[in-house]
Amino acid sequence: MKMFVCIDDTDNYDSIGTGELLENMMGEAAIKGLSKAGFTVRYQLYIHDDIPYTSHNSSMCCSAETGDREVFTEFCEKYLEENSADGSDPGLCILTDDSSFDYSALIEFGKRAQCEVLTKSDAYKAAEGFGDGLHLSEHGGTGGGIIGALAGAALRAGKEEGRIKGKIQPLPNKSEWTLSEFASVFGVQRFIDEDGNEITDNLSIRFVHPTKLLYSKGLITGVIVNENGQFMPKPKIKKNKEKKQ
């Protein structure tokens, strides 16, 4: 069975981030033979004084497959309860990945979560009607993480744009690439410029700085920029994290 697994609000100022916790959880599930996971996408949610968050208010969602959804769900619940940080409000969403599903109501909820303050009641209401196709649960604190968990899973199901967790690093002794070579080596399915225009030419690029990929229109997407006449993957600039006080 294919599904989307999303968690939110599992960290505090001193703990590992939610994305790392999700990858650790899925790694342990794989070791136990419960599932295998795909890449993780970060979805930015609304920043507002009425919303508690640690640093960026983002939820993390991965794709996964399991042969026994009930056992896998029980494992995820227990893992969050045992490994989420003190003072966090963890939420878990497991959403069936099925092309016959109408995700429109959930996608609307996900988009609202990116621009307005929502409540747990809003989340439970949006989840109504999906039956066994959707699991939504609270695992400590206020349980407010279910809002972001549902939003992230919904946005992933709707193929909405998010940032793929992790950086792509340049390879030693190779700086000159064509887009087709880059796509083959790093699994990129689509290229766009900074304005979102699709690039179809097999450009020559220089890859010397780490870069991050996007999940856009359901495809792994690379952003190509022109720096002084030289095309290159958009560099990942390290920023200082400012945590909410």
pLDDT tens per residue across span 139-196: 988 999 999 999 999 999 999 999 999 999 999 999 999 999 999 999 999 999 999 9
Band (11; pLDDT cuts 50, 70, 90) = confident
Q: How confident is the model at residue 237 (pLDDT cuts 50, 70, 90)?
A: low
pLDDT tier for residue 238 given thresholds of 50, 70 and 90: low
Q: Report residue 48's pLDDT band, with 50, 70 and 90 as the boundaries.
A: confident
More confident of the two residues 49 and 115: 115
Mean pLDDT throughout 20-24?
95
Q: 200-217: per-residue pLDDT in tens?
A: 999 999 999 999 999 999
Which fold is adopted by the domain 2-160? Alpha-Beta Plaits (3.30.70)
Q: Long-range contacts for 111-115 (Cβ within 8 Å, ≥24 apart)?
A: 111/155, 111/160, 113/45, 113/46, 113/147, 113/148, 113/150, 113/151, 114/43, 114/44, 114/45, 114/46, 114/151, 114/155, 115/46
pLDDT reported for residue 168: 95
pLDDT at 241 over 70: no
Mean residue pLDDT across the chain? 91
- How high is the pLDDT of residue 10? 78
In this predicted structure, the answer to whether residue 129 has a pLDDT above a threshold of 90 is no
Q: What pLDDT, on a 0 to 100 scale, did the predictor assign at position 244?
A: 39
pLDDT of residue 33 exceeding 50, the answer is yes
Mean pLDDT over 96-122 rounds to: 94
Whole-prediction pTM value?
0.90
Locate CATH 3.30.70.2200 in the chain.
Answer: 2-160
Give 40 or 140, the one with higher predicted confidence: 40
Q: What percent of the chain has pLDDT over 70?
A: 94
At residue 239, the pLDDT reads 52
Task: Place 9 in a pLDDT band, splitting at 50, 70 and 90.
Answer: confident
* pLDDT on residue 55: 62
Rounded-to-integer distance, Cα 161 and Cα 151, Å = 13
pLDDT at 243 over 80: no
What pLDDT score does 58 carry? 83
